[in-house]
């Protein structure tokens, strides 16, 4: 398949037949695409992290069992992972502006439902709706950056985009602690309006899609099979933690997901215009980038979720102190993300990716010896080291993945890449629940981080297979 050009007006004209938007030429169009993607993208990490420190208050208010705490987080991650490839594919067909507006408006309504949830099941449903609607918008913002930003500046653009998402992740824990203490956990969802309103205004100003050429009918069977595959796999990893769910359901769901995945691959190979081109995984650099981002996100979420539990239950820190400690990792990602992107543009993708993954491995391996008696600066220092490594690597990893796809399929590539990212988050969260149990033993945390260290090694190895250009 012949790829569309990557830069300037030529990339705009090449993408137009597929129906994406065409902002103004030059740097103005690049900035327009970037800030649309940024405001849309920050919703995901903000709503992933700010709820973590508020979980005790949420569970107490809704009189819910502790096991529901993981599901409040995991339901969001599962739906986000499952729907993003569909959202990206629909954006390639129908126009990225249209899907972004739909997703942002739906996210606002889902946030209102979450704020007024009267049972924990309603909150889980609202969080799932947040993810489904957000997943319709987020990959299309990333696709705008891929198609409208010059290839010589895409590393910087993805680095700054990653840095912006890190700001949201960094603000999540302290905001979660401060707002929960001062106003109550329900006000956390009102904070989304501070992002949603300007995002809607900015995306509304994007030009309408160019006229699309006729295409074959939408791949409904492929969409259903893809959802069954992703949802089944995620449910197999997580559903057994819910009260009253038999453990034997997990292998049955895993088998169902495997069969659906096999059918989906066969279907996609024989359909000329599938919902997701599985050949993306065979493109040079895409699979290596996907494994790297999945591994990196698993490491990151293990730190985000496990360390607050450790600091609160075994060290005795308060909610605000825990929030600021976890924010140190995201703030380091904020600093090093743009620098890693600039390095990738100048020297190629592989070197910053491998360096960052190795730095993250050092921090993860150190946490395998975690102890309650550590001074505060030891926790903060290792979190900063971990954030530094992830920040350095992420821009190069994402740029390599997106440049493996042509402009016309940028939405699919963005969605699939995000699915692989969230797969790491899901596995990390589910594995945390399985290893930690009631999170009352130091040894359990040490075993967890020893396992996570092996994943960090996989990240180093996979980044070594990224192409330089």
Per-residue pLDDT reduced to its tens digit, 307-334: 888 888 888 887 677 777 777 887 888 8
Mean pLDDT throughout 447-458?
92
Q: What's the whole-number average pLDDT of the chain?
A: 80
Question: Which stretch of 120-129, 210-219, 380-389, 437-446 has the lowest confidence by average pLDDT?
Answer: 210-219
Dist. CA 276–CA 317, nearest whole Å: 46
Dist. CA 421–CA 293, nearest whole Å: 5
Tell which wins on pLDDT, 72 or 23.
72
CB-based contact 137:103 (threshold 8 Å): yes
Asked whether residue 352 carries a pLDDT value surpassing 60, the answer given is yes
Orientation of helix 350-367 relative to helix 442-463, angle to 10°: 170
pLDDT of residue 301: 78
Asked whether residue 185 carries a pLDDT value surpassing 50, the answer given is yes
The CB density around residue 281, as the number of other CB atoms within 10 Å, is: 14
Question: Which stretch of 186-190, 299-303, 354-358 has the lowest confidence by average pLDDT?
Answer: 299-303
Tokens of 66: 């502790």
Helix (H, G, I), strand (E, B) or coil at 151: helix
Tell which wins on pLDDT, 314 or 20.
314
Measure the CA angle with vertex 309, ends 303 and 313; round to 5°: 145
CA 85 to chain centre: 12
Distances (CA, A) of 260 to 87, 203, 238, 360, 392: 20, 35, 18, 35, 36
The CB density around residue 193, as the number of other CB atoms within 10 Å, is: 13
pLDDT of residue 3: 42
Tokens of 173: 């824990």
Asked whether residue 469 carries a pLDDT value surpassing 60, the answer given is yes
pLDDT of residue 394: 86
Tell which wins on pLDDT, 219 or 41.
41
Question: Which of the four pLDDT bands, split at 50, 70 and 90, describes residue 369?
Answer: very high
Percentage of the residues of the chain whose pLDDT score is greater than 70? 86
Residue 364 makes CB contacts below 8 A (sequence gap 6+) with 299, 303, 386, 449, 452, 453, 456
Burial label for 343, CB within 10 Å (0-12, 13-18, 19+), is: buried
Asked whether residue 31 carries a pLDDT value surpassing 90, the answer given is no
Asked whether residue 459 carries a pLDDT value surpassing 90, the answer given is yes
The model's pTM: 0.76
The CB density around residue 80, as the number of other CB atoms within 10 Å, is: 28
Tokens of 370: 């975690």
Looking at domain 21-209+275-463, its CATH architecture is: Up-down Bundle (1.20)
Mean pLDDT throughout 425-431?
73
Mean pLDDT throughout 17-40?
64
pLDDT of residue 141: 85
Asked whether residue 461 carries a pLDDT value surpassing 90, the answer given is yes
pLDDT of residue 347: 82
Residue 28 makes CB contacts below 8 A (sequence gap 6+) with none
* Alpha helices in 95-153, H assignment, sequence order: 96-115, 120-148
Dist. CA 135–CA 151, nearest whole Å: 25
Tell which wins on pLDDT, 441 or 214.
441
Q: Domain extents for the chain? A: 21-209+275-463, 224-274
Asked whether residue 12 carries a pLDDT value surpassing 50, the answer given is no
The CB density around residue 244, as the number of other CB atoms within 10 Å, is: 6
Percentage of the residues of the chain whose pLDDT score is greater than 90? 16
pLDDT of residue 97: 82
Task: Say how many residues make up the chain.
Answer: 469
Question: Which of the four pLDDT bands, split at 50, 70 and 90, describes residue 354?
Answer: very high
The CB density around residue 250, as the number of other CB atoms within 10 Å, is: 18
The 10s digit of each residue's pLDDT in 191-250 is 888 889 888 888 887 766 554 444 556 777 888 888 788 778 777 766 665 656 677 777
Q: Does residue 207 come out as left (phi exceeding 0), alpha (psi in the -120 to 50 range) or beta? A: beta
Residue appearing with tokens 């400690």: 325
Q: Dihedral sign, CA of 98, 228, 286, 273? A: negative
Residue 375 — φ and ψ, nearest 5°? -70, 160
């Amino acid at each position: 398949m012949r790829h569309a050009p990557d830069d300037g007006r030529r990339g705009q004209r090449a993408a137009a037949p597929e129906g994406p938007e065409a902002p103004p030429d030059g740097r103005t169009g690049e900035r327009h695409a970037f800030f649309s993607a940024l405001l849309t993208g920050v919703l995901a990490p903000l709503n992933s992290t700010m709820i973590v420190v508020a979980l005790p208050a949420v569970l107490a208010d809704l009189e819910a069992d502790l096991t529901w705490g993981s599901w409040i987080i995991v339901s969001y991650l599962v739906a986000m992972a499952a729907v993003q490839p569909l959202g990206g594919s629909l954006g390639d067909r129908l126009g990225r502006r249209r899907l972004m507006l739909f997703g942002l408006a739906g996210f606002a309504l889902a946030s209102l439902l979450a704020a007024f949830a009267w049972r924990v099941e309603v909150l889980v449903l609202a969080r799932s709706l947040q993810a489904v609607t957000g997943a319709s918008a987020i990959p299309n913002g990333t696709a705008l950056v891929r198609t409208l930003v010059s290839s010589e500046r895409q590393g910087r653009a993805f680095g700054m985009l990653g840095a912006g998402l890190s700001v949201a992740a960094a603000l999540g824990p302290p905001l979660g602690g401060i707002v929960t203490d001062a106003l109550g956990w329900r006000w956390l969802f009102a904070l989304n309006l501070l992002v949603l309103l300007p995002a809607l205004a900015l995306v509304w100003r994007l030009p309408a899609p160019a006229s699309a050429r006729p295409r074959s009918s939408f791949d409904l069977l492929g969409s259903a099979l893809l959802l069954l595959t992703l949802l089944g796999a995620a449910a197999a990893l997580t559903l057994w933690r819910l009260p009253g769910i038999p453990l034997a359901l997990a292998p049955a769901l895993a088998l169902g997901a495997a069969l659906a995945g096999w059918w989906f691959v066969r279907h996609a190979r024989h359909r000329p215009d599938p919902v997701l081109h599985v050949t993306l995984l065979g493109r040079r650099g895409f699979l290596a980038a996907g494994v790297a981002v999945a591994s990196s996100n698993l490491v990151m979420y293990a730190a985000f979720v496990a360390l607050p539990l450790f600091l609160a239950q075994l060290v005795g820190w308060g909610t605000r102190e825990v929030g600021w400690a976890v924010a140190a990792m995201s703030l380091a990602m904020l600093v090093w993300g743009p620098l890693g992107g600039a390095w990738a543009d100048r020297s190629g993708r592989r070197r910053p990716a491998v360096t960052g993954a190795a730095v993250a491995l050092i921090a993860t391996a150190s946490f395998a010896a975690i102890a309650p008696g550590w001074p505060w600066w030891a926790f903060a220092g290792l979190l900063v080291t971990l954030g530094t490594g992830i920040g350095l690597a992420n821009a190069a990893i994402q740029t390599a993945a997106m440049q493996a796809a042509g402009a016309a399929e940028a939405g699919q590539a963005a969605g699939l890449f995000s699915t692989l990212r969230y797969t790491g988050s899901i596995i990390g969260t589910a594995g945390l629940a399985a290893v930690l149990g009631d999170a009352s033993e130091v040894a359990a945390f040490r075993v967890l981080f020893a396992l996570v260290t092996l994943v960090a090694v996989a990240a180093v190895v996979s980044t070594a297979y990224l192409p330089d250009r």
